[in-house]
Amino acid sequence: NAGVMQNPRHLVRRRGQEARLRCSPMKGHSHVYWYRQLPEEGLKFMVYLQKENIIDESGMPKERFSAEFPKEGPSILRIQQVVRGDSAAYFCASSPTTDQPQHFGDGTRLSIL
Amino acid sequence: RKEVEQDPGPFNVPEGATVAFNCTYSNSASQSFFWYRQDCRKEPKLLMSVYSSGNEDGRFTAQLNRASQYISLLIRDSKLSDSATYLCVVTGNTGGFKTIFGAGTRLFVKA
């Protein structure tokens, strides 16, 4: 039973480009969460999705960031026109229900040149 | 006041020591509680769920005190491999679903 799969593991972009981060939840999990972590800082919640629906996006910047979880395929976190401050580790987690623990992927390390 | 608060540490303890971490939460309607550990530059991994009755897993014991709104983690007979950051996690459904991660408590276990 594969765990949460994120790709790519590392992503390098130049300022102004777009970054697309992918997350396939564990089998049987319909709830997906995205978090951002800056070096030496804690996890910051960004967005929570449940198949085709955004349930809570209160932690996601209103501009340049978007997330989706289509009926088929992985969840995508998209960052448009990236800036240096977007450099961070982005973790995806999934759970079968909201009151069960979340399981994390290995993360995507995004570096902006 | 932060929704979930932890002492950032670091806690520096010798091997074999017993160490305890506390975590306080502000939302009395919070429903589920967990402890995760995170090693440097790695993903958080579930350590244990926390139940009202308390639960134990080997050297680790977690407890929940709803009246005082805190959860605790006790590690007995610390090992070098216990060195990590321990994250307190609180979830609830009030005003929309929310999962809040504490900023973490750093533990260093030394030989």
User: For position B51, what pLDDT does the model report?
Assistant: 85
Q: Do B101 and A35 touch (CB under 8 A)?
A: yes
Count of all residues that appear for chain A in the document = 113
User: For position A53, what pLDDT does the model report?
Assistant: 93
Does the pLDDT of residue B12 top 70, yes or no?
Answer: yes
d(CA A20, CA A62) in angstroms, rounded, equals 17
d(CA B99, CA A94) in angstroms, rounded, equals 12
Intra-chain end-to-end CA distance of chain B, in Å:
37
pLDDT tens digits, A54-83? 999 989 999 999 999 998 899 999 999 999
**Shortest CA gap A5–chain B (Å):** 12
Does the pLDDT of residue B23 top 60, yes or no?
Answer: yes
Look at residues B41, B101, B8 and name the one whose alpha carbon lies nearest to residue A9.
B41
Across A35-44, B63-72, B83-92, least confident range: A35-44
Region B22-49: mean pLDDT is 93
User: Between B42, B46, B87, which is nearest A103 by CB?
Assistant: B46
Does the pLDDT of residue B95 top 60, yes or no?
Answer: no
* Residue type at position B106: R
User: For position A105, what pLDDT does the model report?
Assistant: 97
User: Is the separation of the CB atoms in A65 and A77 below 8 Å?
Assistant: yes
User: For position A97, what pLDDT does the model report?
Assistant: 87
pLDDT band at B96 (very low <50, low <70, confident <90, very high): low
Does the pLDDT of residue B93 top 80, yes or no?
Answer: no
Highest mean pLDDT pick, A4-8, A38-42, A56-60: A4-8
Residues 6+ apart with CB under 8 A from B16: B77, B78
pLDDT tens digits, B44-84? 999 999 988 889 999 999 999 999 999 999 999 999 999 99
d(CA A53, CA A43) in angstroms, rounded, equals 23
Does the pLDDT of residue A31 top 90, yes or no?
Answer: yes
Q: What count of other Cβ atoms lies within 10 Å of the Cβ of residue B62?
A: 22
Region B78-95: mean pLDDT is 89
Among chain A, residues having any CB pair with chain B shorter than 8 Å are 33, 35, 41-43, 45, 48, 55-56, 58, 89, 91, 98-107
pLDDT band at B97 (very low <50, low <70, confident <90, very high): low
User: For position A68, what pLDDT does the model report?
Assistant: 96
d(CA B70, CA B41) in angstroms, rounded, equals 27
Share of chain A above pLDDT 90, in %: 80
d(CA A54, CA A10) in angstroms, rounded, equals 26
